[in-house]
Structures are given as C-alpha cells and as structure tokens.
Amino acid sequence: MILSPSLLSSNFGKFAEELAALEAAGVKWVHWDVMDGRFVPNITFGQPVIQALRPCSKLFFDVHLMIEEPERYVAEFKAAGADMLVIHAEATKHVQRVLAEIRRLGMQAGLAFNPATPLSMLKWVAADVDMVLLMSVNPGFGGQKFIPATYGKIREARRILMAQGFGAVKIQIDGGVCPENAKALVNAGADVLVSGSAFFKHPPYKARLAAFAAALD
C-alpha cells in the first residue's frame, strides 16, 4: 500500500516545510488537489504553486485535477513537475485523448471517477491508464464522510482491469480514508490511499504513517 497524503489538509502557508516533514517521515507520495471553482465548488492552487515547490521535494507528485477541460493544462502541469496527472472522467469529452497526451509528455496517467459515475468507460481505456482514482466522497472538500459503496466499486474496477489484462494498474481511493478503513480498502483491491484530514490532523507524521501501515496487519 502507498499512502499519498493530501496537502489540502496541510498548512497552505508552509508547503515547503510540510513537504520536508513528509519526506523526513518516510512518506513517498504527496497528493496535490487542484480545484478550479467550476468542476468543484472550491478553489485551491494551480501549476505555478506546484512548480515553485518542485525544487523543494523529491516526493512523487500525485496531481489530482478537479478542473473542467483538463486538456488545456496538461503541458503546464508537466512543466510544473507532476509525476502522475489524474483527470476526471466527467471533466472532458475526450478522455482517451487526454490520457494519451499525459503519457506522451512522460507523466503517468490517472483517471478519476466521482462516487455516482459508472465505471463503464474503464474497459475502453484500461490500456491508457497507470492508475484509477475512485472518489469515496464528492470532490471539493476535505474532512467528509467516507461513502461505503466504494468497496464494491473497488472490486468492480479490479475485475474490469484484470479482464482486460491490465491487472497492474493501480487503484487509488480518495476521501474519508483513515486507519480504521484502510485494511478493508486494501483487501477490496486498493493500492494507493489518499489521506487529508486523517493524516495531517494527527502529527507527528512519522507516527501517523506507521499507524496507517499497522492498520493493515
């Protein structure tokens, strides 16, 4: 299991310090929640902020775009230093084209599904993704309640990926993840867990990372 802490719940005035603290704690991935005020009601930060922080960190930058028409900014997020770029299935009319462009530019490509969005398109883009992000809350805000239907959706995503011969594609869960549900999520087939409030509100980070790992035993 990979834990990808979401900076949405960190101190926005101290990103450089937060990144250093995550790295010192032994975290490998960091999750950037980019929101445009249109795809979701909230606004956070964009590619200039990520670009400014890139020299401060060796962490794997897992960038979750909650923006309309993400195709407009793929090259800019590459230039900003994203390692994984995740777009929403609901945010573009040309999902396969955008995923292919993300890979062509040398990033890993992720596809996110809101809680009510069916996985029917996944079969047709299984060859084009490195990761599937299943939202376990409606995107826009941290600290929301986990939606239990997610467990069945993880199993369905894993079944579709296996059937297409892409069993190595990662499944990421985002929203309401905590040590209490981590084991059930991994057992259902999750590889990457995003955690915002349940991680950052419980320092020190090294102990919190250990708590997530211990929850899997």
Please report, for residues 7, 66, 208, the alpha-carbon distance to residue 88 in angstroms, rounded to integers and kept in the order given.
Answer: 19, 7, 29
The residue from 36, 128, 130, 174 that is catalytic is 174
Give 197-203's long-range contacts (Cβ < 8 A, gap of 24+): 197/9, 197/142, 197/143, 199/3, 199/5, 199/6, 199/9, 200/5, 200/6, 200/9, 200/10, 201/9
Phi, psi of 110 (to 5 degrees): -125, 150
Q: Choose which of 23, 164, 197, 211 interacts with ligand DX5 (CB under 6 A).
A: 197
137 interacts with, out of Zn ion, ligand DX5, none, CB within 5 to 8 A per kind: ligand DX5
Structure-token match 């029917």, residue found: 120
User: What does the alpha-carbon distance between residue 133 and residue 5 come to, in Å, rounded to a whole number?
Assistant: 14
Number of residues in contact with ligand DX5 under rule CB under 6 A: 22
Binding status of residue 4 toward ligand DX5 by CB under 6 A: no
> Which 120-149 residues touch ligand DX5, going by CB under 6 A?
137, 139-144
Q: Where are the alpha helices (H) located in 81-203, listed in sequence order?
A: 95-104, 122-125, 150-163, 179-188, 197-200
Angle between helices 205-215 and 15-25 in degrees, nearest 10: 50
The interface region with ligand DX5, picked from 11-19, 44-52, 151-159, 196-204 by CB under 6 A, is 196-204
Binding status of residue 64 toward Zn ion by CB under 5 A: yes
144 interacts with, out of ligand DX5, Zn ion, none, CB within 5 to 8 A per kind: ligand DX5
CB contact at 8 A, 196 and 176: no
Q: Is 174 one of the annotated active-site residues of the chain?
A: yes
Residue-level length of the chain: 217
Binding status of residue 101 toward Zn ion by CB under 5 A: no
Q: Which is nearer to Zn ion, 34 or 164 (CB)?
A: 34
125 interacts with, out of Zn ion, ligand DX5, none, CB within 5 to 8 A per kind: none
Q: How far is the CB of 143 from ligand DX5 (least distance, A)?
A: 5
Task: Give the x-and-dash track for 160-189 against Zn ion (CB under 5 A).
Answer: --------------x---------------
Q: Choose which of 33, 36, 62, 128 interacts with ligand DX5 (CB under 6 A).
A: 33
User: What does the alpha-carbon distance between residue 103 and residue 142 come to, in Å, rounded to a whole number?
Assistant: 29
Residues that bind Zn ion (CB under 5 A): 33, 64, 174
Active-site annotation, residues: 33, 174
